[in-house]
Chain A
């Protein structure tokens, strides 16, 4: 069996950088060679850190979160069943970690729009295109203004392309609840966009 050194893994030698996630996991579980896990780390740490800093808005917290999330991944790797993509599983852990952290620390009063005291009863459906074709710099501004839970759910849906079923499983909510959360998050994002950019 190919057992690359950590040094080679970091340099991407030995062609293992081209191996799929499931192959790396399989090889790691068979050999317990941390080089394979390091490969997964190198592939996903940047993305996880990016999501953490985007939701936690603090570099030190994001660094700790990235580390904690990888420990969770490490400890639960044997439980990964490949019913979903590894990336989906990893991102689910990441979003859950950040949302739990924010809830625990009560850093955000209302994580989701529909948790606010008086959410609007009827929410008009915002076409996906309005968000998906938004100028990136503007989208970034909008995402900084929406409640962090809304941001997480929009990233899951439109950045990570997770299905409603996958998001529901990740957040332990019903699919209908997730649909409503997405609808409200889109509505909130559109409202903020109009408030900021309608006069420009």
Chain B
């Protein structure tokens, strides 16, 4: 007795498949390996371009916000702390403020 119950012996009984229709054909494995390569490729594209995409969206959001911000940010002096308080909405990272703190 293997210590396995009937459910766990279903696979043993049929050589790896509870349906008795064998293991996955080799070509599925090859296809999956191919898919892995493909999604790795897609993954690389996402890795490369997604941050840029976010930045672009952020820039668009920021520039859009600036335009609708009564023009206050059109002439922001990055060296003037009072101007930096008027960060446009959407600047989640607060990069300008970080610069300010750094100084």
Contacts and interface: CB of A to CB of B under 8 A. Distances in A.
A116 to B, nearest CB: 23
A63 B7 contact: no
A107 to B, nearest CB: 16
A45 B22 CA distance: 12
A139 B24 CA distance: 23
A133 B9 CA distance: 10
Interface residues of B, number: 28
Contacts of B21: 53, 59
A80 interface: no
A75 B29 CA distance: 17
A47 B6 contact: no
A134 interface: yes
B28 A50 contact: no
A6 B5 CA distance: 35
Contacts of B20: 140
B8 interface: yes
Nearest to B13: A136
A136 B6 CA distance: 5
- Describe A's contact surface by its main secondary structure: helix
A49 B31 contact: no
B44 to A, nearest CB: 10
B56 interface: no
Contacts of A59: 21
B32 A34 contact: no
Interface stretch (A66-74, A91-99, A165-173, A177-185): A66-74
Contact of B32 (A51, A70, A133, A158): A70
A41 interface: yes
B33 A41 contact: yes
B95 interface: no
B19 interface: yes
A46 interface: yes
B42 to A, nearest CB: 10
Closest 3 CB pairs of A and B: A49-B24, A159-B7, A132-B5
Given A67-B31, A140-B10, 18 more contacts: A34-B37, A37-B36, A41-B36, A45-B32, A47-B11, A50-B23, A53-B19, A54-B18, A54-B19, A59-B21, A67-B32, A70-B32, A131-B7, A132-B5, A136-B6, A137-B13, A143-B18, A158-B7
